[in-house]
């Protein structure tokens, strides 16, 4: 049975997964890529861990340095990397666990955005002038 998994599709890989994979394929360390982009290693690490996203100008530079399209970095479509040449066969249990982990990662990302929105609302409430 051939593996038809699109390794970098939006439902399989995140932006950070694609950045890290393209960086590895380009043979660069985080420190080298960060220096070429003019950002701190911590910033690049945050992008790869999906804790932050680059601005448009850095995204353009990132795509150019990694020799992939911006759209591929964003959503896995367009010019980018192919999956591994030989897929490691997974047992049904391992495939199920990977699926659950991916779903959980997506859910955690959504929950993190919800928490950030709630924090923003709370800050706005706390900084509102009160009538005495």
- List phi, psi (to 5°) of 74: -75, -50
For residues 48 and 96, membership in a common domain is answered with no
- What DSSP element (H or E) covers 40? none
For residues 32 and 50, membership in a common domain is answered with yes
pLDDT tops 50 at residue 4: no
- What DSSP element (H or E) covers 95? helix 92-127
For residues 76 and 131, membership in a common domain is answered with no
Banded model confidence at residue 102, pLDDT cuts 50, 70, 90: confident
Domain-located, residue 112 = yes
Q: Which of 61, 82, 103 marks a domain boundary?
A: 82
Q: What is the token pair recorded at 20?
A: 């890290």
For residues 11 and 73, membership in a common domain is answered with yes
Q: Under the phi-then-psi rule, with left for phi > 0, alpha for psi from -120 to 50, and beta for the rest, what region is 67?
A: left
With tokens 């955005």, the residue in question is 113
Domain-located, residue 113 = yes
For residues 78 and 13, membership in a common domain is answered with yes
For residues 39 and 13, membership in a common domain is answered with yes
pLDDT tops 80 at residue 98: no
Q: What is the token pair recorded at 81?
A: 């990397």
Counting the structural domains of the chain, the total is 2
Domain-located, residue 2 = no
- Going by C-alpha positions, the residue among 54, 114, 128, 15 that lies closest to residue 62 is 54
For residues 12 and 64, membership in a common domain is answered with yes
- Report the chain's terminal Cα–Cα distance, integer Å: 72
What is the value of pTM for the model shown?
A: 0.60
For residues 14 and 77, membership in a common domain is answered with yes
What average pLDDT score do residues 40-69 get? Answer: 93
Residue 18: give the domain boundaries.
7-82
DSSP at 39: S
- What DSSP element (H or E) covers 33? helix 30-37
With tokens 């399989």, the residue in question is 12
Structure confidence at residue 2 (pLDDT): 37
For residues 77 and 45, membership in a common domain is answered with yes
The overall average pLDDT reported for the chain is: 83
- CATH code (residue 72): 1.10.260.40
Calpha distance 44→50 (Å, rounded): 10
pLDDT tops 70 at residue 11: no
């Amino acid at each position: 049975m051939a593996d038809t998994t699109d390794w970098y599709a939006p439902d399989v890989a995140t932006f950070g997964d694609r950045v890290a994979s393209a960086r590895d394929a380009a043979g660069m360390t985080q420190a080298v890529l960060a220096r070429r982009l003019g950002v701190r290693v911590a910033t690049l690490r945050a992008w790869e861990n999906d804790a932050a996203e680059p601005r448009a100008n850095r995204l353009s530079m990132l795509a150019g340095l990694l020799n992939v399209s911006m759209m591929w970095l964003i959503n896995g479509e367009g010019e980018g990397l192919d999956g591994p040449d030989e897929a490691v066969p997974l047992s049904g249990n391992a495939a199920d666990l990977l699926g659950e982990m991916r779903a959980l990662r997506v859910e955690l990302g959504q929950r993190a955005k919800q928490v950030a929105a709630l924090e923003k609302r709370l800050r706005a409430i706390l900084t509102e002038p009160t009538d005495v």
